[in-house]
A and B are shown apart, each in its own frame.
Chain A
Amino acid sequence: MEHILEVTDVSKTFSLRGMFGQSKGGVSAVNGVSFTLKSKGTLGIVGESGCGKSTLARLIMRLIEPDQGQVRYKNEDLLKLGGSDLKKMRKRIQMVFQNPYSSLNPKLTILDNVAFPLWANGTGRAAASTQAYRYLDAVGLPKSYAAKYPHHLSGGQRQRVAIARALVLEPDIVIADEAVSALDKSVQAQVLNLFQDLKKEFDLSLIFISHDLHVVEYMSDDVMVMYLGGVVEKGPKEEVFANPRNPYTQALLKSVPSVDLAVRKAPETELLKGDLPSPLNPPSGCRFRTRCMFAEARCAQNVPALVEVGEGHHTACLLVHEGMAAVQNL
């Protein structure tokens, strides 16, 4: 399958300044992340808060300027574009945000909220409205909602509006950043189904970011697991979920409470200890080593590279690469 987006070695460090503007070091938010998005595929990105998954999405969109790296979309490096070229390319990649209460303009009607990106790109009012109606219909909102304002709508309906707005420019890629996290489960299922339907209908490629592992597993073809700004594991979802190789992925999967009463956690199950270290001062070497139950001295010295451990399945762990039995048998 061909790749529609190739991200290579993207990094971003936010510098911190003190009260008088002196530099106080930096927060390494995204650190050398590379991945590819298959055309018409879905890449799921999972990780806990502070792992850099949202920053990564914003770096791809250039809502934040990366320090280094490449984002190749159809053989053009998005990070090198400027002015009208960038504007043109940006239309091809659209984003849906987590909170539909703050991402819609409260002073515009639902129709105008959806039509706004078209106005911004020079489409006339009448033509924009026609298009907007089309996409409101596609996301399952009745015509009668067009003249309402965001505060008239429930959270699920607002998220449909946000999705219609993302689609109205007919993008190739949609980035959904925690797009269903604020919704109740009964409504969340409706929106997840909607994403699946729209993806087929409009031939979209999807980057689906969430902290909810079950949602990501359900939505994705490929999965990338992030920890403290770096990628620890990526590969086809069946591989990553059924056969996780990185100790972090394994611990993460074990932490999710299961709906199945039969797999209630036994008191002796090993849980991940401690908290996420501060990204201000990330651990040397492998960033997960401070919480890893297998960590050895050399984990502090060398940064593990992503190495292929199965077909298309990569993991960043020195011990796995050396074939350590304990890690594999977990």
Chain B
Amino acid sequence: MSNLLEIDSLVTSFSTKKGMVDAVRGVTLRVKKGKTTVILGESGSGKSVMLRSILRLTQRGSNVAGSVRLEGEDLLGKSPKEMVAIRGNRVAMIFQDALSALDPLYRVGDQLKETIRAHHKVGRREAKDRVIELFRKVGIPSPEERVHAYPHEMSGGMRQRAVIAMALGCRPDLLLADEPTTALDVTIQAQILRLFKELQAEFGMSIVLVTHDIGVAAEMADEVAVMYAGKIVEYGSAEEVLTRPMHPYTAGLIAATPQSKQTGRLSTIPGQPPLITEMPPGCAFAQRCPYAESRCTESVPDYVSAGRSQQAACFQLAGRERYAQ
């Protein structure tokens, strides 16, 4: 299967009082056509920055190095003008907070029309018809009336649907979603996740979904990439990563999450992730890792492959069974 997006050695750094700090420290990732890749990680792991770096949406003063290729075209070498033609058109992005993604002073329908007309030569009438059609697709009831609503007149779930409609306005090849359901209640989350799947089946787009929720990852992912301290520590098919984790961090994270009918003590990962300003040499997880040896704190482990597509960055993977729960 061919790759839609190829990210190689992506490094995103921010200038701070303490000098340049790397939030993403060398990420290599392949996103397959028509598939969903989930980036799983905790707060501060660099998952959101990584996602924004793809569209070069990181804040001013930041630096994105490496390469990001969309169907072979290098996005990092594009001029700002060329990027504008790509954002919202071939690659669309959805953020966690739908309320701040919409302008409170404009009708939601008008904001969608703006996106469509920015990228395609269509008249007002036709743009409006398209918006109504999109609203219907994402399951907004009575779309003919809803196009005239302001963001505050919609519920949280409805707003997220509107934002998804906006992202789909130009039929993107790639949809980037940053915690799209985290602010929503579980019953609404279930609706939105299903909507993603239905739309993917219809339009055949690739989705990169960032989440901290293993349940969401299990529900959605074809492929999973687990991020820790700015790096992908484990990658593979959802089945491989979530049922037979190789990396001690992935295994620890899954074991620490209470599941249905959980009894006994929860297993925990001691301590907390390192600060990006004080990144230790060697493996960033070594301080918290139950299997760490001296070499783990000295040098950075390479990726070790196992299974069909699974790979993880850990020195100890010769005895990989031991990390299984």
Judged by a CB distance under 8 angstroms, whether B86 is at the interface is no
Q: How far is B212's CA from A185's CA once the two chains are assembled, in angstroms?
A: 8
Residues B194-218 near A (CB distance < 8 A): 194, 197-198, 212-216, 218
Residues B167-195 near A (CB distance < 8 A): 185-191, 193-194
Of B98-106, B115-123, B265-273, B302-310, the one with at least 4 CB within 8 A of chain A: B265-273
Top-7 shortest CB links A-B: A257-B215, A189-B256, A48-B185, A255-B190, A257-B219, A186-B269, A184-B42
Judged by a CB distance under 8 angstroms, whether A303 is at the interface is no
Q: How far is B193's CA from A256's CA once the two chains are assembled, in angstroms?
A: 11
Most chain B Cβ neighbours within 10 Å, of A185, A218, A275: A185
Residues A260-280 near B (CB distance < 8 A): 260-261, 264-265, 267, 271-273, 275-276
Contact flag A189-B260 (CB < 8 Å), given A257-B216, A271-B194, A276-B185:
no
- Residues of chain A contacted by B262 (CB below 8 angstroms): 214, 217-218
Q: How far is B268's CA from A190's CA once the two chains are assembled, in angstroms?
A: 6
- Residues of chain A contacted by B265 (CB below 8 angstroms): 193, 196
Judged by a CB distance under 8 angstroms, whether B254 is at the interface is yes
- Residues of chain B contacted by A275 (CB below 8 angstroms): 155, 157-158, 188
Contact flag A189-B267 (CB < 8 Å), given A214-B259, A214-B262:
yes
Which of B187, B219, B243, B257 is within 8 Å of A185, CB to CB? B257
Contact flag A218-B258 (CB < 8 Å), given A193-B268, A258-B215:
yes
- Residues of chain A contacted by B268 (CB below 8 angstroms): 186, 189-190, 193
Contact flag A261-B269 (CB < 8 Å), given A184-B42, A184-B212, A217-B260:
no
Q: How far is B243's CA from A256's CA once the two chains are assembled, in angstroms?
A: 18
Judged by a CB distance under 8 angstroms, whether B149 is at the interface is no
Are A265 and B219 closer than 8 Å at their CB atoms? yes
Are A185 and B42 closer than 8 Å at their CB atoms? yes
- Residues of chain A contacted by B213 (CB below 8 angstroms): 257
Q: How far is B220's CA from A259's CA once the two chains are assembled, in angstroms?
A: 11
Are B252 and A241 closer than 8 Å at their CB atoms? no
Q: Count of B residues near A, CB < 8 Å? A: 45
Are B187 and A48 closer than 8 Å at their CB atoms? yes
The prevalent SS among residues of B at the interface is helix
Are A261 and B243 closer than 8 Å at their CB atoms? yes
Q: How far is the CB of A136 from chain B (nearest CB, A)?
A: 18
Judged by a CB distance under 8 angstroms, whether B43 is at the interface is yes
A209-236: contact bitstring with B at CB < 8 Å (1 yes, 0 no)?
0010111011000000000000000000
- Residues of chain A contacted by B238 (CB below 8 angstroms): 261
Question: Can you report 29 residue pairs joining A to B where beta carbons are below 8 Å apart?
Answer: A48-B185, A48-B187, A156-B272, A185-B212, A186-B253, A186-B256, A186-B272, A189-B257, A189-B268, A190-B268, A213-B186, A214-B260, A217-B262, A218-B262, A252-B186, A252-B187, A256-B186, A257-B216, A257-B218, A258-B260, A259-B257, A261-B218, A261-B238, A261-B243, A272-B190, A272-B191, A273-B191, A275-B155, A275-B188
Q: How far is the CB of A42 from chain B (nearest CB, A)?
A: 14
Judged by a CB distance under 8 angstroms, whether B298 is at the interface is no
Contact flag A276-B155 (CB < 8 Å), given A184-B43, A186-B268, A214-B257:
yes
Q: How far is the CB of A158 from chain B (nearest CB, A)?
A: 11
- Residues of chain A contacted by B29 (CB below 8 angstroms): none
Q: How far is the CB of B130 from chain A (nearest CB, A)?
A: 25
* Closest A residue, CB atoms, query B242: A261
Are A214 and B258 closer than 8 Å at their CB atoms? yes
Q: How far is B195's CA from A273's CA once the two chains are assembled, in angstroms?
A: 12
B119-162: contact bitstring with A at CB < 8 Å (1 yes, 0 no)?
00000000000000000000000000000000000010110000
Contact flag A258-B212 (CB < 8 Å), given A192-B266, A265-B190:
no
Judged by a CB distance under 8 angstroms, whether B239 is at the interface is yes
Most chain B Cβ neighbours within 10 Å, of A218, A264, A273: A218
* Closest A residue, CB atoms, query B220: A257
Tell me how many residue pairs across A and B have CB atoms closer than 8 Å. 118
Are A241 and B187 closer than 8 Å at their CB atoms? no
* Closest A residue, CB atoms, query B201: A267
Judged by a CB distance under 8 angstroms, whether B261 is at the interface is yes
Q: How far is B257's CA from A252's CA once the two chains are assembled, in angstroms?
A: 19
- Residues of chain B contacted by A189 (CB below 8 angstroms): 256-258, 266-269
Q: How far is B155's CA from A230's CA once the two chains are assembled, in angstroms?
A: 21
Q: How far is B193's CA from A88's CA once the two chains are assembled, in angstroms?
A: 49
Q: How far is the CB of A282 from chain B (nearest CB, A)?
A: 15
- Residues of chain A contacted by B267 (CB below 8 angstroms): 189
Are B258 and A192 closer than 8 Å at their CB atoms? yes
Judged by a CB distance under 8 angstroms, whether A121 is at the interface is no
- Residues of chain A contacted by B243 (CB below 8 angstroms): 261
Are B42 and A260 closer than 8 Å at their CB atoms? no
Q: How far is B259's CA from A213's CA once the two chains are assembled, in angstroms?
A: 9
- Residues of chain A contacted by B218 (CB below 8 angstroms): 257-261, 264
Are B214 and A259 closer than 8 Å at their CB atoms? yes
Judged by a CB distance under 8 angstroms, whether A327 is at the interface is no
Are B266 and A218 closer than 8 Å at their CB atoms? yes
Are A211 and B186 closer than 8 Å at their CB atoms? yes
Are A154 and B272 closer than 8 Å at their CB atoms? yes
- Residues of chain A contacted by B270 (CB below 8 angstroms): 190
* Closest B residue, CB atoms, query A157: B272
* Closest B residue, CB atoms, query A237: B261
- Residues of chain B contacted by A271 (CB below 8 angstroms): 187, 190-191, 194
- Residues of chain A contacted by B254 (CB below 8 angstroms): 259
Judged by a CB distance under 8 angstroms, whether A188 is at the interface is yes
Judged by a CB distance under 8 angstroms, whether A187 is at the interface is yes
Judged by a CB distance under 8 angstroms, whether A49 is at the interface is yes
Q: How far is B158's CA from A275's CA once the two chains are assembled, in angstroms?
A: 8
Are B215 and A186 closer than 8 Å at their CB atoms? no
- Residues of chain A contacted by B193 (CB below 8 angstroms): 257
- Residues of chain A contacted by B189 (CB below 8 angstroms): 255, 257
A238-264: contact bitstring with B at CB < 8 Å (1 yes, 0 no)?
000100000000011011111111001
Most chain A Cβ neighbours within 10 Å, of B158, B186, B198, B263: B186
